[in-house]
Amino acid sequence: MRHPILLTVCVAGVIAVAGCGDKSGENTVSRAFQDVNVIDESNLNDVMLTVADPNEAVSYFSRTASEQPDRIDIQRGLGKSLVRAKRNQEAAAVWAKIVKLKDATADDNVDYADALIRSGDWAKAEKTLDSVPPTHETYNRYRLEAIVADSKQEWAKADSFYEIAMGLTTKPASVMNNWGYSKLSRGEYQAAERLFGDAIRQDPTLFTAKNNLVLARGAQGEYTLPPIEMDQTERAQLLHTLALSAIKKGDVQTGKGLLQDAISTHPQHFETAVRSLRALENAG
């Protein structure tokens, strides 16, 4: 929260100290206002990277970057904002420029690899990660290494990288969910179920992990919802996911029943489940 009265007093104090009406006094006041602007800009940059609308943040950083093209922090803000806005090709192009700047760091190369993965350029992402020194051991680096290993079905490598990444963060729910999805894609359903459960215990709001947990259970023919925290809308959505899992395995009657449960559970009209049930009934 800003304190305009305190700011006024501080600036007034600077003017009083300067107080002789000469050029040195004017320069002191000017420097004081520059310092205030630097603090304000830093706060604004942080806001734009977190709570601002992603496309609004892109506009802000694009404008600022054109005015101050040598500021690598602004270029980074632009790259991160483009990723948040899901403008991944543009983000990769920005990060490609950043990593060539003289003040670029290993973290910049990791962020570049992230943007490349999001834009589907797996080969270049792997090459970029390989260029990062092995001593640069960060959560984000190993999270991306695990994802790349997954894409190549190098399961032992992926498991090792996921485990390292988990040890480098205080909020491992997301990486647990990714690791669980990796296990799910391999057909290791029980291991996947355990990891999704761990992710939910770490972050009970992570709906993706809840949905994946239901997929893992459905793949094993377990068509009941797990005892996890969920609101009524989430419960309906998870029942719908479970219904589709049952139908995919050929348990059509079970799937129909679950769809009906999903429709009756949802606090509003659940159009997606209604369409699914109608398609089943018409096919029958």
Phi, psi of 21 (to 5 degrees): 75, 15
| Token pair in block for residue 81 | 């904002």
pLDDT of 33 higher than 80: no
pLDDT at 132: 97
> If you average pLDDT over residues 14-20, what whole number do you get?
36
Alpha helices in 85-188 (DSSP H): 88-98, 106-118, 122-130, 139-151, 155-166, 173-186
Q: What is the mean pLDDT of residues 252-259?
A: 94
Q: Looking up tokens 């990060």, which residue turns up?
A: 95
Nearest-5° Cα angle at 68, 63 to 73: 90
Q: What is the pTM of this model?
A: 0.78
Give dist(CA 166, CA 143) in Å, integer. Answer: 8
Mean residue pLDDT of the chain comes to 86
Place of tokens 């993965």: 117
pLDDT beyond 80 at 31: no
* pLDDT for position 42: 55
The better pLDDT of the pair 50, 68 is held by: 68
Q: Say which residue, 109 or 28, is predicted with more confidence.
A: 109
CA dist 184 and 212 (Å) reads: 8
Q: Is the pLDDT of residue 141 over 80?
A: yes
> Residue 99, Cβ neighbours under 10 Å: how many?
18
Q: What is the pLDDT of residue 279?
A: 87
pLDDT at res. 28: 46
- Whether residue 27 is predicted with pLDDT greater than 70 in this model: the reply is no
> Could you state, in order of their start, the residue ranges of all structural domains in the chain?
54-131
Mean pLDDT of 82-88: 95
- What pLDDT does 8 receive? 33
CATH for 54-131 is: 1.25.40.10
C-alpha span between 187 and 1 (Å, rounded): 51
- What's the pLDDT score for residue 151? 95
Which residues contact residue 32 at a Cβ distance below 8 angstroms, ignoring those fewer than 6 apart? Answer: 10, 11, 14
**Range in 35-39, 162-166, 199-203, 271-275 with the lowest mean pLDDT:** 35-39
Residue percentage of the chain with pLDDT more than 90: 76
* Integer-rounded Cα radius of gyration of the chain: 26
Do 172 and 166 touch, CB atoms closer than 8 A? yes
Q: How far is CA 10 from CA 34, 56, 166, 268, in A?
A: 13, 32, 46, 55
Q: Give 158-197 pLDDT, tens digit per residue.
A: 999 999 999 999 999 999 999 999 999 999 999 999 999 9
Give me the pLDDT at residue 41, please: 55
Return the pLDDT at 176.
97
**Residue 223 DSSP class:** -
Instruction: Tell me the backbone φ, ψ of residue 16, rounded to 5 degrees.
Output: -65, -40
